Structure 1
Amino acid sequence: MGRFLAERLWSAVLTVLGASIIAFVVLRALPTDPARLIAGPFASEDVLAQVRAQMGLDKPLVTQYLDYIVNFFTGDWGFSYAAGKDVLPLVAERLPASGELALFAFTIAFSLAVLLTVLVSYSGSRVLDGLLRAASFVGVGVPPFWISLLFLMLFFETLGWFPGPVGRGPAPPHVITGFYTFDYLLAGDIRGALTALRHLALPGFALSLASFGYLIRLLRANLLDVVHEPFITVLHSKGVPAFSAHFRHILPNAFLPTITAGGLILAQLLGGSVLVEQIFTWPGIGTLVIDGITRQDYAVVQAFILLSAVIYIVVNFAVDLLYGWIDPRVRRS
């Protein structure tokens, strides 16, 4: 197990370095001058030289890269000239909103996909299986932004069941975790928690639909593969009940790839869902990055790229550990 952890940790470190190099090179290859954007189009060369020196752009590229890495992991993510404040607190303000939305969408997608797929596969109904496949095609094929607009037209404009594109709603009196639902529950305010859930519902379900469809297709295909394995035939020949064979042997073997896919989906959602956040005026990191790209805010975009890479790596490292804990064959290999 120790070697397994060491290999995964070393792979995670190499991936972080690779992602940081790509982000560093791509941003410096863009045909824009950050100093010119900050100083203005009519700034003199002396002023531009001073701005470049303040930003560290006058140093060699290797030195800039080392400063970039060291500063990121020590908490110095640069200064946003568009927002007029440091990038780290700016991201820290927005990250809980994206995190709450991502976790809500992931919980909905993963739990419903697993529950429905397992029930339909156990029932053996061709009609239910056809409906499940149709739902997966809709989820994978329909863009989340279109579903978001459809949800707003139906559930907000027509029926009035849920709030419109007004963001997260009122903040709790004491923000502890940054997740409004949890903070209201910690304060014992059930009505406030329900209000926060109502604001989460439409963007969360719109965001979860694509993940829901993908997980259904993946788990269904894995279940069909495992059902035809020789050891399942042996189990049936020994008189093992269908329920026990399905839930103790078929499902655990088919579920492992779904865990890996779930980790990738969660990391993607945590990295920010730009279009859905824009449509619902959700004050998350996705809208922050869109504003940063629009304003050509160099520091914000640079920090977001590396932060997204770190989120992907941390989540997938945790999935690798979970995978190895569930399946001993992974540890032995």
Structure 2
Amino acid sequence: MFRFVSEKAVSALLTLFGASIIAFVILRAVPTNPARLIAGPFATDDVIAKIEASMGLDKPLPQQYLDYVVNFFKGDWGFSYSAGQPVLDQIAARLPASAELALYAFLFAFIGAVLVTVLVAFSRSRLLDQILRGFAFAFVGVPPFWIALVFLMIFFERLGWFPGPVGRGTPPAEIITGFYTIDYLLEGNIGGFLNALHTLALPAFALALGPMGYLIRLLRANLLDTGNEPFVTVLHSKGVAPLGIQFGHILPNAFLPTLTAGGLILAQLLGGSVLVERIFSWPGVGSLVIDGILRQDYAVVQAFIMLSAIIYIAVNLLVDVLYGVVDPRVRRS
């Protein structure tokens, strides 16, 4: 087990090293001098040189990279010249909103995929199975931002069933956890809680459809494979009730790979909702990153790349280790 965990940890560190290289190169690859952006268009060369020295841009590239990595893990994620505050403070203020949106999208995707797939699989309906496969195939390849635009046009503009971009008529909750729904509940504001859920629904569903399609395909394949295992035939020969076989044996065995995939999907949602957040004016990290790109505030983009990589790598490592604990065959392979 120690060897298995060690191999996964080394792989995670190598991946993080690659992500840090990408984040580091971004600031150096853009044609615009970050020191000039901070100093302004009318700054003298002496002023720009002083800013470059304060940012460490006058040092050799290997030293710059080492300083960047060390400072990042010390909590110094750079300074946002457009906002006039540390990048870490900006991201910390917006991360709960992104996490809340990702969590609801994950719940919609995971619960929806499991319920629909199990019902269709155990109904033995060929028509329903074909419809399910078509749905899964259609939404896996559709970009979430396109779904978000369609949802906004239909359910907000045309039908008016859901509110549009945030900030239209709902008084803000007092910031306690940063999660809007939880903060409204802690205030005892049930109306605000329901409004927050209503506002979250469209962007969360837009993010959820792609992962839901993937989970449907994965769980369906696992159910079919598990249903053809020899132990199922043995259970039938022993007279075990079909429902007992399906829910007591087939589903638990088919469910484990879906759980591991679910963890990775949650990590993807945390870092992959940038455009959807922008479309719905959701005050998360995604909107902050787009503003950083448009304003050439690349310290924000750097920090986002590193944060997304750390979240995904950490979840991936945790899922691999837990999967190895539950299934010894994974450790031996």
TM-score interval (norm. to shorter): over 0.9
Q: Does 1:219 align with 2:227?
A: no
Unpaired stretches in structure 1, ≥5 consecutive residues:
none
User: Where does residue 177 of structure 2 map in the other structure?
Assistant: 177
How much has 1:42 moved relative to structure 2?
4.3
How much has 1:272 moved relative to structure 2?
4.0
Cα distance per residue 1:7-58 (max 9 Å; x no partner) = 4334333322232123213432333321222223443322221110111111
Residue type matched to 1:281 in 2? Answer: S
Give the 5 Å matches for 1:285-300.
285-300=285-300
Distance 2:90 2:23 in 1: 20
Distance 1:249 1:332 in 2: 24
User: Where does residue 204 of structure 1 map in the other structure?
Assistant: 204
* 2:324–2:331 CA contact under 8 A, matched in 1: yes
Q: Secondary structure at the match of 1:171?
A: coil
Give the 5 Å matches for 1:97-246.
97-167=97-167, 169-173=170-174, 175-246=175-246
User: Where does residue 14 of structure 1 map in the other structure?
Assistant: 14
* 2:140–2:211 CA contact under 8 A, matched in 1: yes
Of the structure 1 ranges 145-154 and 206-215, higher mean CA displacement relative to structure 2 is found in 145-154
User: Where does residue 86 of structure 1 map in the other structure?
Assistant: 86
C-alpha change, 1:34 and 1:218, in structure 2 (3 Å) is: same
Cα distance per residue 1:188-227 (max 9 Å; x no partner) = 3222211110110111111111111111111112222222
Residue type matched to 1:172 in 2? Answer: A
Q: Percent identity?
A: 71
How much has 1:319 moved relative to structure 2?
1.5
C-alpha change, 1:117 and 1:288, in structure 2 (3 Å) is: same
Size of the aligned set, in residue pairs, is: 332
Cα distance per residue 1:50-105 (max 9 Å; x no partner) = 11011111112222112111111111111100111110111111111111000000
How much has 1:246 moved relative to structure 2?
1.8
C-alpha root-mean-square deviation of aligned residues, in Å?
A: 2.0
Residue type matched to 2:154 in 1? Answer: L
Distance 1:316 1:142 in 2: 24
Of the structure 1 ranges 53-62 and 225-234, higher mean CA displacement relative to structure 2 is found in 225-234
Question: What is the TM-score normalised by the length of structure 2?
Answer: 0.92
Q: Secondary structure at the match of 1:54?
A: helix
Question: What is the TM-score normalised by the length of structure 1?
Answer: 0.92
Unpaired stretches in structure 2, ≥5 consecutive residues:
none
Residue type matched to 1:152 in 2? Answer: L
Q: Secondary structure at the match of 1:135?
A: helix
User: Where does residue 284 of structure 2 map in the other structure?
Assistant: 284
Residue type matched to 1:227 in 2? Answer: G
How much has 1:229 moved relative to structure 2?
2.4
Distance 1:93 1:33 in 2: 28
User: Where does residue 257 of structure 1 map in the other structure?
Assistant: 257
Q: Secondary structure at the match of 1:304?
A: helix
How much has 1:4 moved relative to structure 2?
4.0
Distance 1:122 1:25 in 2: 52
How much has 1:295 moved relative to structure 2?
1.1
